């Protein structure tokens, strides 16, 4: 049997050639585990003038939390409402409360602590995920998160998007790669799980630059990575750039090739939580092919199979 006819990647039960989040969670907890997205409306220092105004060029009015709960509701009410819908599909599942929208460490540690501890104690919650910016981590918050990580399966998700500072400047990120390394370092020193978000298709980036971002991040000793596609959403600065022809959308063919290049360069023990993202259908301008999420995922699987490749292959074959 040739390598192409078999699956050389062992961490899979569904013939995937990379370490999926669902596989990892099922192995760790013995059942289906899914995230319940929450919104605590903490905002972002890149919108209120602390670091910048207007936010990142791609960020929606809901701080990229379009599928999270209603911030006007208590977090337990949000959790129960969303969990009830998911429970119909996975009645035996367990949950990870996911502080998704905005920068969820953009407040004092003592304000955040009781909220995070409360969520970690929700019925059948087996962990906690907290999404934030790397420049919203300091010593006090890292200490608080470390204490939390000793009692539950905690992952802190850091938005990086690209290691290239020129790209960050175009995107109005208002932080540098060095800022990211500092915030991630505070967490890593304490043994806190880190999941890094990167985006493919950012203005001015080549296939090589996107691949370099994934490979560099993969070498940082992280727990997981999320690979997103750049979505052009209504009402964003990116939408204006797109209309002026300054930020063309990726084709699905190009996206699939880049993601496979990235997967080949990510160490085999790093969880790949996403290989594409969701854009709210009512807000999405481009690329419209991204609405066919499972088609995109299938094309990535087929391309890895065609290459006879798998997660970490480029590292193993060096």
Q: Give 109-130 pLDDT, tens digit per residue.
A: 999 999 999 999 999 999 999 9
Domain count, the chain: 1
Specify if 16 maps to a domain.
no
pTM: 0.94
pLDDT recorded at residue 23: 96
Residue 261 lies in a domain: yes
In this structure, is residue 12 part of a structural domain?
no
pLDDT at 75: 93
Alpha carbon separation from 145 to 88, 104, 216, 256, 300 (Å, rounded): 32, 12, 25, 35, 35
Question: Angle, to 10 degrees, between the axis of helix 139-149 and the axis of helix 177-189?
Answer: 40
Task: Give a yes or no: residue 15 inside a domain.
Answer: no
The per-residue pLDDT for 68 is 61
The CA distance from 211 to 216, in Å, is 9
Full residue range of the structural domain in which residue 301 is found? 21-313
The CATH number of whichever domain residue 169 belongs to comes to 3.20.20.70
CA nearest neighbour of 222 among 195, 197, 185: 195
Say if 157 falls within a structural domain.
Answer: yes
291 in a structural domain: yes
Would residue 9 count as lying in a domain? no
For the chain, which ranges sit under pLDDT 70? Answer: 1-7, 62-69, 318
Domain assignment of residue 124, yes or no:
yes
In whole numbers, what is the pLDDT of the chain averaged over residues? Answer: 92
Q: Using a pLDDT cut of 90, give the percent of the chain over it.
A: 79
Can you give the pLDDT at residue 2?
44
Please report how the helices 75-87 and 109-120 are oriented relative to each other, as an axis angle in degrees rounded to 10: 30
DSSP sequence for 187-232: HHHTT-EEEEEEEES-TT--HHHHHHHHHHHHTT--SEEEEEEPPE
Mutual orientation of helices 293-307 and 252-264 as an angle, nearest 10°?
50
Judge whether 214 and 315 are in contact, CB under 8 Å: no
310's CB contacts (< 8 A; 6+ apart) are 7, 8, 9, 17, 18, 263, 264, 304
CB 42 within 8 A of CB 107: yes
């Amino acid at each position: 049997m040739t390598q192409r006819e078999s699956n050389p990647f062992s961490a899979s039960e569904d013939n995937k050639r990379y370490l999926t989040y669902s596989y990892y969670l099922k192995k760790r907890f013995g059942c289906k585990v899914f995230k319940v997205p929450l919104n605590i409306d903490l905002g972002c220092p890149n919108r209120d003038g602390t670091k910048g105004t207007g936010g990142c060029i791609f960020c929606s009015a809901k701080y990229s939390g379009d599928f999270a709960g209603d911030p006007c509701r208590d977090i337990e009410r949000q959790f129960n409402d969303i969990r009830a819908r998911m429970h119909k599909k996975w009645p035996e599942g367990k949950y990870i409360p996911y502080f998704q929208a905005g920068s969820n460490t953009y407040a004092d540690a003592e304000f955040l602590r009781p909220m995070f501890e409360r969520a970690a104690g929700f019925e059948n919650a087996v962990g906690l995920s907290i999404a934030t910016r790397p420049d919203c981590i300091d010593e006090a918050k890292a200490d608080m998160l470390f204490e939390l990580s000793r009692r539950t399966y905690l992952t802190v998700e850091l938005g990086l998007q690209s290691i290239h500072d020129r790209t960050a400047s175009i995107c109005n990120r208002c932080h540098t790669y060095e800022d990211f390394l500092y915030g991630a370092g505070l967490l890593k020193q304490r043994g806190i799980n880190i999941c890094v978000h990167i985006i493919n298709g950012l203005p001015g980036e080549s296939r090589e630059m996107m691949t370099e971002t994934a490979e560099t991040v993969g070498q940082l000793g992280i727990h997981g990575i999320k690979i997103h596609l750049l979505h052009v959403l209504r009402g964003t600065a990116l939408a204006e750039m797109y209309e002026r022809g300054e930020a063309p959308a990726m084709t699905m063919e190009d996206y699939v090739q880049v993601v496979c290049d990235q997967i080949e360069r990510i160490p085999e023990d790093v969880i790949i939580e996403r290989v594409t993202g969701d854009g709210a259908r009512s807000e999405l301008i481009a690329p419209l092919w991204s609405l066919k999420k499972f088609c995109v995922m299938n094309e990535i699987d087929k391309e890895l199979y065609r290459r006879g490749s798998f997660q970490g292959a480029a590292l193993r074959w060096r």
